[in-house]
Amino acid sequence: MAQDDDHQPDETADPVIDPWGSDTIEDYRELFEHFGIEPFEEVFDGIPSPHHLMRRGVIFGHRDYGRVLEAMQKDEPFAALSGFMPTGEPHVGHKMVFDELVWHQQHGGEVYGLVADLEAHSARGMSWEEIDEYAKAYVLSFLAAGFDPETGTLYRQSANREVQDLAFEIGIEANFSEMQSIYGFDGETDVSHLQSVITQAADILYPQLVHGPLPTIIPVGPDQDPHVRLTRDLAARTRYFGVTRAYASFEADSDELELLETAYSTREIYAEDAETPRCGEAAAWLDASETDDPKTKAGAIEKLRNAGKEPLEPRVRLLVRKAPPQAFEALIEAVEGKKRVYDAHIDCFDLELEEAEQLARTIELETGGYGFIPPSSFYHRFISGLTGGKMSSSVEASHISLLDDPEVGARKVEEATTGGRETAALQRELGGQADDCPVYELYAYVLAGEDDELAETVYRECVGGERLCGDCKTQAAELMREFLEEHQAKRAEWEDRLDELDIELMTDRKLGR
Ligand code: TRP
Ligand code: SF4
Domain boundary among 347, 380, 413: 380
Question: What pLDDT, on the 0 to 100 scale, is given for residue 273?
Answer: 96
Total domains present in the chain: 3
Question: What pLDDT, on the 0 to 100 scale, is given for residue 18?
Answer: 83
pLDDT tops 50 at residue 380: yes
Q: Whose CA is nearest to atom 8 of ligand 2?
A: 469
Do 330 and 230 sit in the same domain of this protein?
no
* Residue from 220, 377, 380 to probe ligand 1 pocket by mutation (most atoms less than 8 Å from CB): 220
Is 224's C-beta closer than 6 angstroms to any atom of ligand 1?
yes
Question: What pLDDT, on the 0 to 100 scale, is given for residue 23?
Answer: 67
Question: What pLDDT, on the 0 to 100 scale, is given for residue 123?
Answer: 94
Do 261 and 133 sit in the same domain of this protein?
no
Is 455's C-beta closer than 6 angstroms to any atom of ligand 2?
no
**What domain range is 435 assigned to?**
396-500
Is 472's C-beta closer than 6 angstroms to any atom of ligand 2?
yes
Do 192 and 286 sit in the same domain of this protein?
no
Residue 159, exposed/middle/buried by CB under 10 A (0-12, 13-18, 19+)? Answer: middle
CATH number where 446 lies: 1.10.240.10
Q: Whose CA is nearest to atom 8 of ligand 1?
A: 83
- In the chain, the percentage of residues whose pLDDT exceeds 90 is 88
pLDDT tops 70 at residue 24: no
Do 327 and 210 sit in the same domain of this protein?
no
Q: How far is the CA of 441 from the centre of ligand 2 (A)?
A: 10
pLDDT tops 80 at residue 319: yes
Do 466 and 418 sit in the same domain of this protein?
yes
At 267-277, the pLDDT tens digits run 999 999 999 99
Integer Cα distance of 68 and 215 in angstroms: 5
Give 489's pLDDT tier (boundaries 50, 70, 90): very high
pLDDT tops 50 at residue 256: yes
User: Does any domain span residue 220?
Assistant: yes
User: Does any domain span residue 391?
Assistant: no
Do 109 and 170 sit in the same domain of this protein?
yes
Chain mean pLDDT for the chain:
94
Do 72 and 172 sit in the same domain of this protein?
yes
At 202-216, the pLDDT tens digits run 999 999 999 999 999
Is 418's C-beta closer than 6 angstroms to any atom of ligand 2?
yes
Atom of ligand 1 nearest to the CA of 203: 12
Question: What pLDDT, on the 0 to 100 scale, is given for residue 19?
Answer: 86
pLDDT tops 80 at residue 335: yes
CATH number where 80 lies: 3.40.50.620
Question: What pLDDT, on the 0 to 100 scale, is given for residue 355?
Answer: 97
Do 351 and 405 sit in the same domain of this protein?
no
User: Does any domain span residue 386?
Assistant: no
Do 94 and 106 sit in the same domain of this protein?
yes
* Residue from 386, 430, 437, 466 to probe ligand 2 pocket by mutation (most atoms less than 8 Å from CB): 437
pLDDT tops 80 at residue 15: no
One DSSP character per residue, 30-96 reads HHHHHH-PEETHHHHTT-SS--HHHHTT-EEEEESHHHHHHHHHTT---EEEEEE--SS--BHHHHH
Atom of ligand 2 nearest to the CA of 458: 7
Do 50 and 180 sit in the same domain of this protein?
yes
Atom of ligand 1 nearest to the CA of 220: 13
Residue 395 contacts residue 410 (beta carbons within 8 Å): no
pLDDT tops 90 at residue 2: no
Question: What pLDDT, on the 0 to 100 scale, is given for residue 30?
Answer: 81
pLDDT tops 90 at residue 4: no
pLDDT tops 70 at residue 247: yes
At 98-143, the pLDDT tens digits run 999 999 999 999 999 999 999 999 999 999 999 999 999 999 999 9
Is 431's C-beta closer than 6 angstroms to any atom of ligand 2?
no
Q: How far is the CA of 75 from the centre of ligand 1 (A)?
A: 27
User: Does any domain span residue 507?
Assistant: no
Q: What is the mean pLDDT of residues 136-160?
A: 98
Question: What pLDDT, on the 0 to 100 scale, is given for residue 162?
Answer: 98
Do 114 and 203 sit in the same domain of this protein?
yes
User: Does any domain span residue 459?
Assistant: yes
Residue 330, exposed/middle/buried by CB under 10 A (0-12, 13-18, 19+)? Answer: middle
